[in-house]
Structure 1
Amino acid sequence: MAKGKNFFRKAIILIIALIILIPCSVLFYDAAIASGEEKVDFYYMMTDGKMKPFEKKIRSESKEDTLVTVLNTLKEEPKTDGATHSIPESIEILFAKLDGSTAIVDFSDEYYRLSNLDEVICRSSVVWTLTSLDFVDNVEFWVEGQPLRDHNGEATAAFNRGNVVIDSEISAETTEYAILTLYFANAEGTDLAIEERVVEVNANQTREKTILEQLIGGPTEKDCVRTIPTETKIRDVTTTSDGTCYVNLSEDFVVKHSGGKKEELLTVYSIVNSLCELDYVDKVQFLIEGKKLDEFKGNLQFKTPFTAISSLKTAEVQ
């Protein structure tokens, strides 16, 4: 009888132990499985013209393995209805690595053959998707082992959510994506500095006005400095068939400007160079409140149009 009771006690203890240990082991197993998972917001262009995020979980062995997995997923045809893959099949992902919090992605040279729209979609999707990872703040694009080059042959700066702007709430009927090459002053105030920016633009607004709005808004890169007084208002901007862009600004452009030869040159050519990045703009004529001024602030003549320069050192006082 004593043996029976002893056996019964042991059985009860065993059952209690199993009740306690089995859930713990399950939780431990789930935690071990989850430790190799990353939640990623994949940004896809939808058929309605909007870019939207879709959360997915991916498994990986390391952070760099995560980058490769994410990029390969963006190349695949998404299973979400209405979404299209962001990286064209023709582009090969050569490698992806981390440098601090910057993801460096190297593509094959087919990247340079992308149309303007396809490049914007690819770049925006890659940047916003990779920066959804908690260990990525910036993304550098490389092609065939070399940093991506802009139209002037200069290496592009790292991209992030500050300079690659998307707005999924704007209707596709009135907006489109564009890559703008904007010129600001460098940190030292000695020459121009380039900032490439991906933005959604209103299809019913001229690209020239969008560029001016972005310039007045100021740079997003820390090594760039604004050149235009923030109070400046755009009265009108029109480009004629001979390639002359007439920029009509409020008097604040002159009155609020600090003056100085170098400062005047930086202001004028930040606008001129930015607008002349457009294929159909060859020169810029400034107007203030609809009228031509003889001079800007005492150093630059404003009667005749300005053309783009390669460096402030080559600028001639007009």
Structure 2
Amino acid sequence: MRRKAFLFTFLVLSLLLAACVHGGGTEGENSYTIYYPAAELRDVPGEDAIVARTVQLPDADTLTQEELAQRLLERLLADTPDAGVRAPMPGGTTLLSLSVLGNWARVDFSRQYARLAGIDLTLADYCVTLTLTQLDGVNAVSITSGGRELPYRETQTLTAADPLLSMREDALRPITVSLYFLDPTSGALRAEKRALALYEGQTRVNALLEALAQGPESDALAALLPEEFTVLSARVEEGTCYLNLPSDADLGISPRQTVESLVLSLCSLDTVERVQIVVDGEIAAQLNGVNVGEPLTP
């Protein structure tokens, strides 16, 4: 699906923090990086808790994204390459399933993984996350054990930026949202679940709107927002998202469905219960023939 440009007058360029930790391809076209906990923290330059080892996958070009991700995790689960690193997971841990959908990798390990706690769980989580997010297009990872989430994690969705952002007091955690796109076959709106990584200075609403404008990951769905769609501002107050659009806003070939897509998607945020569309900063009765004078709910 072709990505569409999105004009936000209030957005600044997001810093791609995840690029700071990616290691794939640094020593050759088919070189990849496996991340391990350091065997002894004091022996690691700079006292990094997680260290990298490069591996060669000569047949990487013939593998699908999921096959490549599985191969990397198999290396992570195998014997450690040297004495400078240790196994991130308990002995006997196996990979039960792995899927890559859009930018989100979902990993399910055997029940041994659930034995991890505290710093050991954190290190294991990020060894998996850093290893997988070096793959093109993968920027979020969720990890379960025996099909179940580990309830004592701070977040169930991990990104490569987290180890960097965790040191910042104003860091924002990744969020899971439902973006609504057109199903051309049925003519109805259909949700696409997406994990969004937030960067410094970026709000949840801005991140969601940007992702919605970029279009769906699935080729079976179609974007409703036109290429030149512009948002002047957006804010959330007491459960209401105020979406400020210009008076000449283009809502595409189906304005009603475009507005419905915006409302459903924004209300997937836990802080948004309703959406009030304003036009050039003022409440208007209609926009592109759609009634927007009152707050809209799903």
TM score, norm. by length of structure 2: 0.54
Q: 1:276 to 1:97 in 2, by over 3 A?
A: closer
Aligned counterparts of 1:204 and 1:128: Cα–Cα separation in 2: 22
> Is 1:273 paired with 2:274?
no
Determine the structure 1 residue equivalent to 2:288.
297
Compute the displacement of 1:208 (Å): 0.8
Give CA deviations for 1:92-146 in whole Å, capped at 9, x if unaligned: 54425899xxx985335888xx9xxx799687545435x58xxxx9x99896787
Ranked by relative contact order (alpha carbons within 8 Å, sequence separation 6 or more), the top structure is 2
Query: Within 5 A, what are the aligned runs for 1:220-299?
Result: 220-241=217-238, 243-253=239-249, 256-259=250-253, 263-298=254-289
Aligned counterparts of 2:283 and 2:93: Cα–Cα separation in 1: 52
Mind listing any 5+ residue stretches in structure 2 that lack a counterpart? Answer: 1-29, 38-45, 150-157
Q: Is the 1:185–1:224 Cα contact (8 Å) retained in structure 2?
A: yes
Q: 1:68 to 1:297 in 2, by over 3 A?
A: closer
Determine the structure 1 residue equivalent to 2:175.
179
Q: Is the 1:184–1:226 Cα contact (8 Å) retained in structure 2?
A: yes
Aligned counterparts of 2:73 and 2:130: Cα–Cα separation in 1: 15
Equivalent of 1:72, from 65, 70, 77?
Answer: 77
Determine the structure 1 residue equivalent to 2:213.
216
Counterpart secondary structure, 2:55? strand
Compute the displacement of 1:43 (Å): 5.9
Aligned counterparts of 2:79 and 2:244: Cα–Cα separation in 1: 44
Q: 1:67 to 1:204 in 2, by over 3 A?
A: closer
Greater helix share, structure number: 1
Q: Is the 1:44–1:125 Cα contact (8 Å) retained in structure 2?
A: no
Query: Within 5 A, what are the aligned runs for 1:1-318?
Result: 39-42=31-34, 54-57=53-56, 66=71, 69-72=74-77, 93-96=94-97, 105-108=107-110, 124-125=129-130, 127-128=132-133, 131=135, 173=168, 176=172, 178-181=174-177, 182-188=179-185, 190-241=187-238, 243-253=239-249, 256-259=250-253, 263-298=254-289, 300-308=290-298
* RMSD over aligned Cα atoms: 5.3
Q: Is the 2:181–2:216 Cα contact (8 Å) retained in structure 1?
A: yes
Counterpart secondary structure, 2:296? coil
Q: 1:93 to 1:229 in 2, by over 3 A?
A: same
Give CA deviations for 1:223-269 in whole Å, capped at 9, x if unaligned: 2211112212221111112x11111122343xx3344xxx2332112
Mind listing any 5+ residue stretches in structure 1 that lack a counterpart? Answer: 1-37, 150-163, 309-318
Percent identity between matched residues is 24
Compute the displacement of 1:207 (Å): 0.9
Matched residue type, 2:34: F
Q: Is the 1:295–1:301 Cα contact (8 Å) retained in structure 2?
A: yes
Aligned counterparts of 2:79 and 2:260: Cα–Cα separation in 1: 39
Counterpart secondary structure, 1:286? strand
Q: 1:94 to 1:55 in 2, by over 3 A?
A: closer
Aligned counterparts of 2:267 and 2:80: Cα–Cα separation in 1: 35
Aligned counterparts of 1:75 and 1:203: Cα–Cα separation in 2: 35
Aligned counterparts of 1:270 and 1:234: Cα–Cα separation in 2: 15
Counterpart secondary structure, 1:269? helix
Aligned counterparts of 2:72 and 2:56: Cα–Cα separation in 1: 13
For these two proteins, the number of residue pairs brought into alignment is 226
Give CA deviations for 1:154-204 in whole Å, capped at 9, x if unaligned: xxxxxxxxxx98679x98757655234222222436222333333432332
Aligned counterparts of 1:92 and 1:276: Cα–Cα separation in 2: 39
Compute the displacement of 1:307 (Å): 1.2
Larger radius of gyration: 1
Counterpart secondary structure, 1:41? strand
Compute the displacement of 1:284 (Å): 0.5
